[in-house]
Amino acid sequence: MSLLSVEHATVRYGATTALDAVDLALAAGEIHAVVGENGAGKSTLLRVLAGALVPDRGTVARAPATRVAWVAQEPELPPDGTAAEWIFLAAELRGRLGWLRTAAMRDAAAAALAAVGAAIDPSARLGALSASQRKQVQVARAVRQQAPVWLLDEPTAVLGAAEAERLFAVARGVAAAGGAVVWVSHRLDEVLALADRVTVLRDGRRVASGAAADFDAASLVRQMVGRDVALGARRAGTRGAPCLQVRGLAAGRLRDVAFAVRAGEIVGLAGLLGSGRSTVLESLAGVRRARIQADGHAVAVLLPEDRMRKGLIPTLGVRENLHLPAAGWRLQPSAERRATRDWIARLALRTPGVDAPIGALSGGNQQKVLLARALRRAPRLLLLDEPTAGVDVGAKADIHAQIRALADDGTAVLLASSDLPELLGLCDRILALYGGRVAAEFDAATVDEHALGAAITGQPTADRRQLIADS
Amino acid sequence: MRLRLVPGWSALVILALEFACFALILARPGLPHTFANADNIALIFKYSGIFGISAIGAAMIIGAGGIDLSPGAVIALAAVVTGELFVEGGWPLPAAMAAGVSVGALSGGLAALLIVGARLPPFIATLGVMGIARGLAFLVTEGRFYDLSRWLAAGVAPLGVPLSAWPGVLMVGLAIVFQLVMTRTALGRHVLATGGNETAARYAGVRVDRVKAFVYVAGGLLAALSGVVLAVVQGQGKADLASGYELDVIAAAVVGGASLSGGRASVIGAVLGALIFGVLRNALTQIPGGTFADRLILGVAVLVIVVLDRLASGERVKRNHG
């Protein structure tokens, strides 16, 4: 008997069919992964399972008294609330007279945060937390709810390797206790390692479903995109004159960061959560206060992390989001429309129209709009912060291809990512941030994931395999 | 479902329906119409102009994600400065008017300084500016009342336009200018981008501090212009003028399609909103007992119009994601 199931669920948004007669049954004790490209219907399916969206057709069945904890992909947490308040929102502990039991909630919140391995003060303002810490607060809320069924939407997209490992353990615990977890992710290696069963969605339809052991990465990708995709071919490095020369950068926890990037070179920034990867990029782009001694950063264009908070203007359309800041004095709508159509073709961007609301696009396509916004300014130095976080394999390959093509044309690229394989597959050189400075520098052709993992955790030599592999 | 092809478009429909309704209600068979006639329509434009000019500024400020509580007080201060300089100081009228308008640059500049420089929330910053402007107005007048109409030659028509037509002419002219600024210039897009997501706009390279300074200074100037027009055209200048206008001005902008959460606003819509209220006020004076009910009816009208507009534009609950 399943804890939660949907049969023939169909959801339409106007002319678009987001879900097309999808079946899914969640058995007790299983971790059920749902994979698919952006726009395949994964988040919509999760909303239906959570009861937040009533399908136009089909049924949702829930075992009696089964509570469901839903960790949405990009929720807007109130920036001035605290972690403890969010964890207990709408389920506050009250005393006999109805007064809030603040201290008890703070202690319980601290316990829930500890259970997900988060070093977060329960009294911390949510707005002061990083994207990954906010995600950990969401998961702590689910822990606190003690619901048997968990719905996790891209839970690891913003997490570092160690935090992700911790979350795997939490999910396994839920399943082992007789609950069930729906795990939506773009990281196929994680899906294959963690899930008992896998359901693949493509264009709103269920195209495959079965035991995880029956799939491998290649077969999953084939099902997701309906064709074969080459993942991460390495690039023959070409290097030109120095484009960016940072002699000393101090901001936040960073003390004395120094490095150089040449024209045509892709340099990676690796580091754990809070190591200052984003701080380096944001300081160079001038959106954050910093003491910098450097040449060449005046020409930098930044593609920021956290596209909902730092990237998109939700009230503007695709064309307007792409053309920001608008050039010149008078707007040129017809030229903008032409240019937008060109970018749509160049980046294989899927959108209902040139002027469609940005919210009508899937996450990967929103990211392509932001990439186009950065590329439109033809930067000589491009700063990319987690350019493929929460992006499906197809869009990821498209974005990687664009980055390579740019570097081949002589653009200097500085790329921060928590995805070590991405850094290894894309970069010429990789800088490891640790302790507020560049702790090590690697030639990406000769370094492996384990050596890199050791460097970003402050180990002088390689052999911290357990951190990345299984912890 | 997209009724709101242009933001504020539904305000035009409401204005037309409202006018038609009152024209029917107030029609007296066999007698000339006291509502739907050219003189009365000119009167509606004359009185709506004061709100309408300020509402243009309010629409831009709200569109940028801000709020301005100072227009009523700035209107009063600009009016009494003009009155004081012209009546008591013996300044030529154009010079006194220019001085009155420049009051708005100062009040808007102060608001911008507090919001951009000191990072105060707009509500608090403009609450302070409101108090300062109103207080200065009382200090300037010391309780006096300026009657400018006595000093203005009857039948003056600057640039060939009768004095009483100026509020309407300025309102329409400025609405067109600022509508073009908001929809056809980079500045206008940056205003709405700042209101839509200030952090993202800053990361994209929009100079949000300049954008905010622009809307508050422009809003101050437009409010002060309203005050000068009020002083000259209606011949009034006293310190408690235009009390509570700031909320009427905000209501006009919201009825005209501005979203208080920022990122959406229409200048034309705000002016139509001011006209909707102008028609209502005017019609109520012709209905026995109507003037006493006018605040009540205006309050209800704001709510009804905004709710209807939401329904008509089909605010989407579902979002296509994932």
Task: Name the residue with tokens 């904890």.
Answer: A69
**Would an 8 Å CB–CB cutoff place B144 in contact with chain A?**
no
Nearest CA in chain B to A41: B322
**Digit-coded pLDDT (tens) for A386-402:** 998 877 778 888 999 99
Task: Name the residue with tokens 């209902």.
Answer: A352
Mutation choice for A interface testing from B191, B194, B203 by most A CBs within 10 A = B203
Of A15, A306, A359, nearest in space to A157 by CA: A306
In this prediction, residue A451 carries a pLDDT of 83
Interface subset of B 195-224, CB within 8 angstroms of A? 195-197, 199-207
Which residues of chain B does A313 touch, with a Cβ-Cβ cutoff of 8 Å?
Answer: 192-193, 196-197, 200-201, 263
Mean pLDDT, chain B, integer: 89
Is the pLDDT score of A75 beyond 80?
A: no
Of A151, A188, A193, A149, nearest in space to A168 by CA: A193
**Digit-coded pLDDT (tens) for B232-262:** 988 888 899 988 899 999 999 999 989 888 9
Is the pLDDT score of A444 beyond 80?
A: yes
Q: What percent of chain A has pLDDT over 70?
A: 93
Mean pLDDT highest for which of A392-401, B109-118, B296-305? Answer: B109-118
Asked if A315 lies within 8 A of B196 by C-beta distance, the reply is yes
What is the distance between the alpha carbons of residues B151 and A324, in angstroms, rounded to a whole number? Answer: 52
Between A and B, how many CB-CB pairs are < 8 A? 107
State the complex-level ipTM: 0.86
Asked if A287 lies within 8 A of B203 by C-beta distance, the reply is yes
Region B219-229: what's the mean pLDDT? Answer: 97
Asked if A153 lies within 8 A of B322 by C-beta distance, the reply is yes
**Digit-coded pLDDT (tens) for A132-179:** 899 999 999 999 999 999 999 988 877 888 888 999 999 999 999 999
In this prediction, residue A66 carries a pLDDT of 86
Region A186-208: what's the mean pLDDT? Answer: 90
Nearest CA in chain B to A56: B318
CA B282, B285, B290 angle in degrees (round to 5)? 120
Residue A217's CB is within 10 A of a number of other CB atoms, namely: 13
Structure tokens at A122: 């329960």
What is the distance between the alpha carbons of residues A400 and A440, in angstroms, rounded to a whole number? Answer: 24
Region B55-59: what's the mean pLDDT? Answer: 97
Structure tokens at B97: 């008017």
Taking the CA of residue A312 and the nearest CA in chain B, the distance in Å comes to 6
What is the 3-state secondary structure of chain A? CEEEEEEEEEEEECCEEEEEEEEEEEECCCEEEEECCCCCCHHHHHHHHHCCCCCCEEEEEECCCCCEEEECCCCCCCCCCEHHHHHCCCCCCECCCCCECHHHHHHHHHHHHHHCCCCCCCCCEHHHCCHHHHHHHHHHHHHHHCCCEEEEECCCCCCCHHHHHHHHHHHHHHHHCCCEEEEECCCHHHHHHHCCEEEEEECCEEEEEEEHHHCCHHHHHHHHHCCCCCCCCCCCCCCCCEEEEEEEEEECCECCCCEEEECCCEEEEECCCCCCHHHHHHHHHCCCCCEEEEECHHHEEEECCCHHHHHCCCCCEHHHHHCCCCCCCECCHHHHHHHHHHHHHHCCCCCCCCCCEHHHCCHHHHHHHHHHHHHCCCCCEEEEECCCCCCCHHHHHHHHHHHHHHHHCCCEEEEECCCHHHHHHHCCEEEEEECCEEEEEEECCCCCHHHHHHHHCCCCCCCCHHHHHCC
Among the partner-chain residues B185, B200, B321, the one whose CB lies closest to the CB of A43 is B321
Q: In chain A, count H helices and then E strands.
A: 15, 18
The length of chain A in residues reads 471
Bigger pLDDT: A83 vs A420: A83
**Would an 8 Å CB–CB cutoff place B34 in contact with chain A?**
no
In this prediction, residue B290 carries a pLDDT of 81
Nearest CA in chain A to B185: A330
Give the confidence band of A460 by pLDDT, cuts at 50, 70, 90.
low
**Would an 8 Å CB–CB cutoff place B319 in contact with chain A?**
yes
Amino acid at A456: I
Taking the CA of residue B205 and the nearest CA in chain A, the distance in Å comes to 6
In this prediction, residue A467 carries a pLDDT of 37
Dihedral sign of CA atoms B242, B245, B246, B252 in order: negative
DSSP state of A148: S
Give the confidence band of A218 by pLDDT, cuts at 50, 70, 90.
confident
Nearest CA in chain A to B208: A325
Interface subset of B 106-135, CB within 8 angstroms of A? none
Asked if A314 lies within 8 A of B197 by C-beta distance, the reply is yes
Task: Name the residue with tokens 């070179």.
Answer: A265
**Digit-coded pLDDT (tens) for A236-289:** 656 788 899 999 999 988 989 999 999 999 999 998 777 889 999 999 999 998
Residue A30's CB is within 10 A of a number of other CB atoms, namely: 19
Give the confidence band of A469 by pLDDT, cuts at 50, 70, 90.
very low
Mean pLDDT, chain A, integer: 88
Asked if B322 lies within 8 A of A310 by C-beta distance, the reply is no
Asked if B206 lies within 8 A of A324 by C-beta distance, the reply is yes
Instruction: Determine which of A34-38, B106-110, B114-118 has the lowest per-residue pLDDT on average.
Output: A34-38
- Phi, psi dihedrals of residue B16, rounded to the nearest 5°: -65, -45
Contacts of A15 (CB under 8 A, 6+ apart): none
In this prediction, residue A235 carries a pLDDT of 61
Is the pLDDT score of A87 beyond 60?
A: yes
Is the pLDDT score of B320 beyond 70?
A: no
Q: pTM for the full model? A: 0.79
Asked if A316 lies within 8 A of B196 by C-beta distance, the reply is yes
Taking the CA of residue B210 and the nearest CA in chain A, the distance in Å comes to 13
Asked if A331 lies within 8 A of B189 by C-beta distance, the reply is yes
DSSP state of A327: P
In this prediction, residue A453 carries a pLDDT of 80
Asked if B196 lies within 8 A of A287 by C-beta distance, the reply is no
Contacts of A313 (CB under 8 A, 6+ apart): A320, A321, A324, A358, B192, B193, B196, B197, B200, B201, B263
What is the distance between the alpha carbons of residues A135 and A464, in angstroms, rounded to a whole number? Answer: 26
Bigger pLDDT: B107 vs A453: B107
In this prediction, residue B222 carries a pLDDT of 98
Asked if B186 lies within 8 A of A325 by C-beta distance, the reply is yes
Give the confidence band of A471 by pLDDT, cuts at 50, 70, 90.
very low
Asked if B200 lies within 8 A of A313 by C-beta distance, the reply is yes
Which residues of chain A does B7 touch, with a Cβ-Cβ cutoff of 8 Å?
Answer: none
In this prediction, residue A228 carries a pLDDT of 54
Asked if B320 lies within 8 A of A359 by C-beta distance, the reply is yes
